[in-house]
Every structure is written in C-alpha cells, then in structure tokens.
Chains A and B, each alone.
Chain A
Amino acid sequence: MSAIATPLMKRDLGLVGWQIRYEQRAYWRNRGRGVFTFVFPLMFLVIFGALDKHAHISSRGGISYDTFFVPGILAYGVIATTFVNMAISTAILRDQGVLKRMQGTPLPRWAYVAARIGSTLVIVMLMTVITLALGAAAYGVHVRASTLPGLLITLALGTAAFTALGIGITRFIPNAEAAPVVVNLVILPLTFISSIWFPTDGMPTTLIDIAKLFPIRALADGLQYAFDPRTVGAGIKGQDVLILAIWTAVGIFLMIRFLRHPQGEVR
C-alpha cells in the first residue's frame, strides 16, 4: 500500500503525535483518574492472587487458579483503561466545554479523536505489560508462544471494542457526575457473570448465556483460553473473536454518532 502523504496530512499526523503527549501528561497528572483506571486492576491482581494461592479449578481440568485469574484481571485492566477511562474523561471534557473549545480550533476533529485513542492505547499497553510481568514474576503465569496469536488478536479486538464503546456511551451519560455510576452499572454486574473474578462454570445457564452476548465475557474468555495449558493451536477462539468483532462494530457506530453530534448545538 502506498499512501500519498500530503504536507498537510504530515502536519496533522505530527499534531496527533503532539496531542498524544499532552493527553498523556494530563492523564498521569490526574491522580484520581489514574488510581481509578490504572491502579484498581493491579490492586485486584495482588488481592486475588493472595486469596487463592495454589488453588486449582476442577471444572477446568484442574488448572491452577493463577492461570485463570491473571488473564481475567488483564481483561478487567483493558476495560478499565479503555472503556471506563474513556467514558468518564469524555463526559468530563464534554461537560466542561473542552470538546466545544477544541471544535473551534483548526485541529481537525479526527486528529483530536485519534490522539485521545492513541493516548488510551499507550495506557492499555502499559497495563498489559505490567499485568503480564506481574503474572509471570509473582504467579508463574507465562505467556505461551504457541497461543500468542490468540492473545494478541483478543487484546487488540477487546481494546478496539471497549475504546469505541467508551466514547460512544458518552451520549447516554447525562452529565459528568453520573459517568462513574453509569459506567460501573454497565460493567460491574457483567464482570460477575463473565468469568472475570471467578469461573462461572457452575452458574445457571441463563446467566451464562446472557454473559455470552456481551464483550466482557468474550474478552476474559478469549484471554483465559490463550493462557489455558490445555489449549492446542494458536489460541484463537472463534466465538469470542466474533462477539468482540461485533461489539467493535457497534462501538464504532456509537462513537461516530457521538462525534458527529455538534458540541455547540443545544441538545
């Protein structure tokens, strides 16, 4: 593919790069949000790891609990740093009028959105690296070379779906104060039936069937599949990939709908 980069395009890509730096600076300076989206998952990693030392999951052929919860917490970490972070920060930026202000500048809207997403990618990658490093060092849960394709595909699709959904859901968040409530109302109940914290193998099938429709379970299950020592092949679970792909499409649709909505027009 040979893209013809015009000088303007080059300049705009440079602006995206600068904007990512500013977004990063702002993110790490805000301790409240940093704790909420970044430290939370890592805290759970340490707590859950301490709770079930050396436990095994009989419903999954006796695999160690560690190989279940490290990818589970990783799924939660991805959701926290993309969906939760994006939804709350976008609602704040909208309510404070920052989005409106940005709309009045020569920075193209796509470039600003790209930078916000780019900055989120930096955070989610860092979260992934720390979680996997901690998982390997403290719990002996190692990334398997053979299932690496499955791990990466699931991570990439999960990140795409939850980032887009995080921006898209802002349309349904009435105001910034309501954002953490709305976001947790959407996320928390689903995490309990989606094999994030503990295996849901013995749960009523209705609940499991409901969970299977949503991307949280698909992300957790896909990652857990890639870490499961019994998995043969590339670690790609078709059903999870399909669900994540569908939700990515839904997320992009909602995201575009939100972004098309002019910030100045009276709602």
Chain B
Amino acid sequence: MTTTHSQNEGLAIEVRDLRKSYGEVEAVRGVSFEVGRGEVFCLLGPNGAGKTSIVEILEGYRTRTHGGVRVLGMDPARGERELHERVGIVLQESGVQSDLTVTELVEMYGRYHLRRRPVDEVIELVELGEKRDTRARQLSGGQKRRLDLALALVGDPDLIFLDEPTTGFDPGARRQAWTTIRSLCDLGKTVFLTTHYMDEAQHLANRVAVMNAGQIIAIGRPEELGGRDLRPAEIRFSLPVQWSLGDLPDIPCEQRSLESDRVLVVTREPVVAAQRITSWALDHEVDLGHFSVNQPTLEDIYLELTGDGSRDQAEVHSSEEVTR
C-alpha cells in the first residue's frame, strides 16, 4: 500500500476556510474543521445550509471556490484513483443499474476495487440476504438505501460518506440503519455523516458540527454542544390547588415559579432537587402530577443556535420523539 500521500496519518479529513459560490450565491462561507481517523463526524443543519455542497466537495464531485481540503491526505478535486479506492460514498439520491440483481451489483462494484470485501459478507451486513437475487428495480426504498450502503462498503473503504442516509425512512428502518452504521465504527471506519435529524446526530456521532447559512455555528461532542452539559435542568410538576409555592421545602435551584397549578424548577442539581421535592410530597401526602425532569435536548440547543423561529426551523425536526 502506498504511504506517500498523507502528511498527517491521524486525520481523515482536513478543511480550511472552505468557500463555495454558485454565481452570486455563496453557499459555503468559510468553513474549517478536522475529522480524525475512526471518528463518526456529523454535519447537522437545515436543508440549504450548505451540507451537501461540503460533502460533495469532499467526495470530489464539486470544485471549491476557495480554501484547502485534504481527504485521506489527498486533494479530492484531483480525482485520484487511490482516493476512490479508499472512500465509500452514499449519495443523497442516486440510482443503480436497476436491471441487475443485488448480488450482481455488489459483485460489479466490488470489481472496481483492488481491495474488497466478500460479496456475501457485505450483503449480510446490510441485511439484504433474502433479496440477493432480486433486481434493484424491485427493491423498496429502504432496501435500495441499504444496497447503496453495500455498494459503498464492498470496496472496504477507510472513509465512508453518508449524505442523509435515512431521509424518508420509517422509525423502524431508521433504527436498523443506525445499527448498521454503528457496526461500521466497530470496523474502525471513519464515517462522515450529514443529516437534518437531531436524534440521528445524537445517536451516531462522536462529534457534531452545526451548520446554518453556509457556516459552522457550533462544533463539539453531542452532549457538550452549545454548553448543553452545563445547562440547568428543568423539573416540572403540577401542585394540587390547596398547596402553594411557599409550602415547598428548600430546593437548590436557579429559579422556581408557579403558573396556574404548574410548577417549574430550574436547577443545576436535578438529583438533589428531585429528591427533596418527592420526599416532601410523600411526607405530606401531596399528589404531584406530570412529574418530569428534563435536560435541554440537542434540539433545544440547535434551535437556540440557529435562531428560534427562523425560516429554517420548520425544516428541522426530530424524526422521533426524544424520550429520556
């Protein structure tokens, strides 16, 4: 194997001040980030934020207007074959030779690579075993997406690009896809993921970059993003009418308020606060309704970062209710 290309073996992707303009419109406006080997990196943002522009520049499909880009130590704009050998691509939407069967397609795309994984193994990995002799034309949407993944994996790539891999999936299919993507991490692959689903980023990524209007507005581990881990928790419950806020015991909190019968306690010590409230309620035989403790979700942070109530908000939504 050649070792001449990469300057920095520790990094899978390096992006420095990347810009991309389409005529007058600047879709990517000075973006910089790094992705380490073996990392699952997620670009999160609303439609039109510039995610696909970035990922297609990294894949070598689009040229950049400005900035430095290295993928596995190579410049993707040069379209080197070595890079294609080592990178697997799942495009947002792209067809296959639809008259060929699953097995034929995996075999065909595998032949293009010097290093490849066994056809049956790849088909099993994406759970298309029962469809191996089915023509691509006859696969369902979810099965086609899994075939996309199989075709990206058959060349045993070091780096895999997944551009919105689960858009249009039902919740069950999405969970299944997540399991498959996680198994890629176990294989030591670097995964570059784009999505507009918060929970997808939450479940899969080691690191998330939040994009809005062509720029990265926050970057970090999903649990730390936007200082999420440092934010106070919110405890909510309803209080029977004969009780008032003043009857509650001493609780460590930033703020507490009562609106009609609903109490809100904002606290940095949710465990202690919850314990005080519940033991007080048991001692006094108070029936607390709808008791809940909530840490701000990635979605809350995201909406805060991208500007609550902006045009983009409607396009960004959680694929499932995040329950915790």
Contact = CB atoms under 8 A, between A and B. Distances in A.
A108 B135 contact: no
Given A18-B111, A30-B99, A106-B155, A97 B61 contact: no
Nearest to A100: B94
B95 interface: yes
A104 interface: yes
Contacts of A93: 95, 97
A25 B100 contact: yes
Contact of A97 (B93, B100, B111): B93
A154 B224 CA distance: 72
Interface size of A as a range:
20 to 34
A266 B22 contact: yes
A156 interface: no
Nearest to A112: B112
B28 interface: no
B89 interface: yes
A15 B116 CA distance: 15
A19 B155 CA distance: 17
A26 B62 contact: no
Interface in B28-61: 56, 59-61
Interface size of B as a range:
20 to 34
B96 A105 contact: no
Contacts of A265: 61-63
A191 interface: no
A27 B56 CA distance: 30
Given A104-B89, A106-B81, A264-B56, A96 B61 contact: no
Interface in B87-121: 87, 89, 91, 93-100, 104, 108-109, 111-114
Nearest to A21: B108
B97 A22 contact: yes
Contacts of B93: 97
A141 B60 CA distance: 55
B85 interface: yes
B84 interface: yes
B307 to A, nearest CB: 27
A264 B91 CA distance: 10
Interface in A41-92: none
Contacts of B135: 29
Contacts of A105: 84, 109, 112-113, 155
B104 A22 contact: yes
A156 B108 CA distance: 30
B113 to A, nearest CB: 6
Contact of B95 (A18, A98, A108, A262): A98
B91 A101 contact: yes
B94 A108 contact: no
B112 A106 contact: yes
A6 B12 CA distance: 31
A200 interface: no
A104 B60 contact: yes
A97 B62 contact: no
A103 interface: yes
A15 B61 contact: no
Contacts of B85: 106
Interface in B160-198: none
A96 B99 contact: no
Contacts of A98: 94-97
A100 B97 contact: no
Interface string A232-267: 000000000000000000000000000000111110
Contacts of B100: 22, 25-26, 29
A125 interface: no
B81 A264 contact: no
A263 B61 contact: yes
Nearest to A22: B108
A73 to B, nearest CB: 27
Contacts of B111: 15, 18
A107 interface: yes
A104 B71 CA distance: 14
Given A22-B108, A106-B81, A106-B155, A101 B61 contact: no
B112 A101 contact: no
Given A29-B99, A105-B109, A106-B84, A264 B62 contact: yes
29 contacts: A15-B112, A18-B108, A18-B111, A22-B100, A22-B108, A26-B97, A27-B99, A29-B135, A30-B99, A93-B97, A96-B96, A98-B94, A98-B96, A98-B97, A100-B94, A101-B91, A101-B94, A104-B61, A104-B87, A104-B91, A105-B109, A106-B85, A106-B112, A106-B113, A106-B114, A106-B155, A263-B61, A264-B60, A265-B62
Interface of B: 22, 56, 59-63, 81, 84-85, 87, 89, 91, 93-100, 104, 108-109, 111-114, 135, 151, 155
